[in-house]
Amino acid sequence: MTGTPSEAGPRRPVTLDDVARQAGVSQPTASRVLNGSARKVAESYRERVLEAARELGYTPNLPAQAMARGMSRTIALVISLISDPYFSAMAAEIMKQAEVLGLHVSIAVTERQADRELDLVRELRGQQPRAIILAGTGYVDPPSEQQLIDELHRYQETGGRVVLISRSDLPFETVDFDNHEGSRQLARELAGLGYQRCLVLGSGTPLLSMQQRVEGFVTGLAESGVADAASRVRHPGFSWAGARECVLGLGDEELRDLQLVFAVTDDMALGALAGLRERGLRIPEDIGVAGFDDISTLRDVVPKLTTVHVALNAVAQEAIYRATTTDTALNRRTVRAYPVLRASTPPVS
């Protein structure tokens, strides 16, 4: 005996996919009909979709309607860590640029976990923001890259925009800054000041942009005549604490032989600086220190830290433009990253 609907339990909500299947059309076509898109649909398809929606009792997704009509005022920003000075500064600049256009920014944090990034994108796709900006660092060999690409393509099919910041691992609109070239130029300038024996602190987490910074710095040293540059690369924990612990673990003889410590982020450079001081070294009298990013908190550091400057305001402005424009023929935009020499790396006497 067949039970009544109440006896069978609650039914799941009818989805757009159900309507598309019933009407015999694609999901994007059903979305354009039911969510009020400005893109036209053939009248025969439109009638089939509306009839299927009536038969199934479909209720439109209001956030999806807003995005399809270009009315969503929210941009979703996905970053690695809000506690990281670089990412917090990036988020602040993006929020500032979005506010100029009357837009709001929601922030999701991946904790540098590729699977979490995929889960967040899936969740955001259901919320239908106007655009998704991925500012988290890409992985050298991401475990779920194709799944992430598929999710972002599905999101774009419903009218959303996808923008990447400083990552070249995904085929979407990208605002980049040259990690490799910025580090290479820094290495060449430091070698010109007399630095030859340089410890390079990369990332124990296999992050693509950090690998590019290591490779760029080693290349710059090699071009300047430093033969054993690659042999002095370490990969500590990707944090202030990881860099400090690495320096504290160096042997006395190895430490005395060094002229410079270069870390792939300013945050790690500051951790290395703390470790060097704990080992009894003076900066820069005994050893130089350099980083990458030129985060705003460096203004309080003594001595002033040599680094690679990234114009986050220009990066954020370009990212917001690409997140809101209707132009679909944009090319990759690269914002220049360049060395800034300061008191932490004086000429070697």
Residues 295 and 183 in one domain: yes
Looking at residue 347, its pLDDT comes to 97
Give the residues across from 165 on adjacent strands: 175
pLDDT number for residue 1: 39
Joined tokens for residue 142: 């991401």
- One-character DSSP codes across 68-86: HTT---EEEEEES-SSSHH
In the chain, what percentage of residues exceed pLDDT 90? 57
Is residue 326 very low, low, confident or very high in pLDDT (cuts 50, 70, 90)? confident
Confidence band for 54, pLDDT divided at 50, 70 and 90: confident
The CATH number linked to 133 is 3.40.50.2300
User: DSSP string covering 309-340, please?
Assistant: EE-HHHHHHHHHHHHH--------EEE-EEEE
How long a stretch of residues is the chain?
A: 349
**189 shares a domain with 269:** yes
User: Does position 63 have pLDDT exceeding 80, yes or no?
Assistant: no
Q: What is the pLDDT of residues 92-128, one digit of tens each?
A: 999 999 999 899 999 999 988 888 999 999 999 888 8
The answer to whether 217 and 186 are in contact (CB under 8 A) is yes
CA–CA dist 8, 2 (Å, integer): 9
- Is 66 inside a domain boundary? no
The whole-number average pLDDT for the span 196-208 is 92
3-class state of residue 132 by DSSP: strand
Domain membership flag for residue 241: yes
C-alpha–C-alpha distance, residues 72 and 94, integer Å:
17
pLDDT at position 67, please? 53
**244 and 296 assigned to the same domain:** yes
Do residues 236 and 200 touch, judged by C-beta distance below 8 A?
no
Give the residue numbers spanning the domain of 303.
Answer: 179-310
Say yes or no: 200 and 295 in one domain.
Answer: yes
| 261-317 pLDDT tens trace | 999 999 999 999 999 999 999 999 999 999 999 998 898 899 999 999 999 999 999
Give the separation between CA 301 and CA 231, rounded to whole angstroms.
29
Read off the CATH number of the domain in which 28 is found: 1.10.260.40
In this prediction the pTM is 0.76
Instruction: Please provide the average confidence, as pLDDT, over all residues in the chain.
Output: 88
pLDDT, residue 6, reads 42
* Shared domain check, 283 and 192: yes
- Evaluate whether residue 343 is within a structural domain: no
Say if residue 70's pLDDT is above 60: no
Which has the closest alpha carbon to 214: 204, 225, 203? 203
* Omega prior to 303 cis, within 30 of 0: yes
User: 206 or 65: whose pLDDT is higher?
Assistant: 206
User: 335: which strand partners?
Assistant: 177
Position 348 in a domain:
no
Which two structure tokens, joined as six digits, stand for 327? 């132009």
Tens of pLDDT, residues 123-165: 998 888 999 999 977 776 666 788 999 999 999 888 889 999 9
**123 and 164: one domain?**
yes
Do 202 and 274 share a domain, yes or no?
yes
The continuous run of DSSP H or E covering 92 comes out as: helix 85-100
pLDDT at 37: 59
Residue 8's pLDDT is: 47
As a whole number of angstroms, the distance between CA 28 and CA 40 comes to: 12
Q: What angle do CA 205, 206, 208 make, to 5 degrees?
A: 125
